Amino acid sequence: MSSFLNNSGDIILDAVLTDEGRRRLARGDGSFKIAVFSLADDEINYNLYDATQGTAYADLNIMKTPILEAITDSSIGLKHKLLTIEKEDLLFLPILKLNTNNPNKSKDAGKPLANNTNNTNTFVVMATDVVIDHYNQNETLPDGFIDGTTVADAGATNSLIVVDQGLDTNQLSYTRKLTPDLEESRVIVEMDDRLLKLVMPGGTDAEPSFIDDDNIATYYMGTGSPIFGEYPTSDKKSGKNASSIAGPRGKRFRLGLRTSVETQISNHFYDTLGSQITSYYNTAIGNAASTTARTIDTIVRVAGGTIGYTLDIPVRIIKELNTP
Q: Which of 63, 79, 107 is the last residue of a domain?
A: 63
Q: What is the 3-state secondary structure (H, E, C) of 70-82?
A: CCCCCCCCCCCEC
- Same domain assignment for residues 25 and 148: no
Q: Look at residue 40 and tell me if it is in a domain.
A: yes
pLDDT (0 to 100) of residue 294: 92
Cα–Cα distance measured from residue 144 to residue 20, given in angstroms and rounded to the nearest whole number = 34
Residue 69 in any domain: the answer is: no
Residues 59 and 100 in one domain: no
Which amino acid would we find at residue 56? A
Name the pairing type of β-strands 310-320 and 204-205. Answer: unpaired
Whole-model pTM above 0.85? Answer: no
pLDDT at 1: 43
Q: Is 225 exposed, middle or buried (0-12, 13-18, 19+ CB in 10 A)?
A: middle
- Taking the alpha carbons at both ends of the chain, their separation in whole angstroms is 43
**Which among 63, 85, 103 is the end of a domain?**
63
Contacts of 229 (CB under 8 A, 6+ apart): 108, 162, 201, 251, 252, 253, 254
Using an 8 Å Cβ cutoff, are 305 and 188 in contact?
yes
Decide if 276 is inside a domain: yes
Element (H, E) at 154: helix 151-154
Q: How far is CA 211 from the centre of its chain?
A: 17
Residue 72 falls within a domain, yes or no? Answer: no
Do 172 and 271 share a domain, yes or no? yes
Report how far Cα 204 is from the mean position of its chain's Cα atoms.
19
Same domain, 138 and 241: yes
Q: Is residue 83 part of a domain?
A: no
| pLDDT given at position 126 | 94
Residues 182 and 47 occupy one common structural domain: no
Domain boundary, last residue among 63, 82, 113: 63
User: Could you give the CA distance from residue 182 to residue 250 in angstroms, rounded to a whole number?
Assistant: 8
Which residues on neighbouring strands pair with residue 297, listed in sequence order?
A: 316
Q: What is the pLDDT along the chain (324 residues), one digit of tens a residue?
A: 444 455 455 556 667 777 777 878 888 888 888 776 777 777 777 777 787 877 777 777 777 777 777 776 666 666 677 777 777 777 888 999 999 876 554 445 678 888 776 788 899 999 999 888 888 766 778 888 999 999 999 999 889 999 999 999 999 888 888 888 888 989 999 999 999 999 999 999 999 998 888 899 999 999 889 999 766 544 444 567 778 888 988 889 999 999 999 999 999 999 999 998 876 665 555 555 567 889 999 999 999 988 888 899 999 999 988 754
Q: Looking at the structure, do residues 151 and 241 belong to the same domain, yes or no? A: yes
Number of domains in the chain: 2
Do 142 and 243 share a domain, yes or no?
A: yes
Range of the domain at 6: 2-63
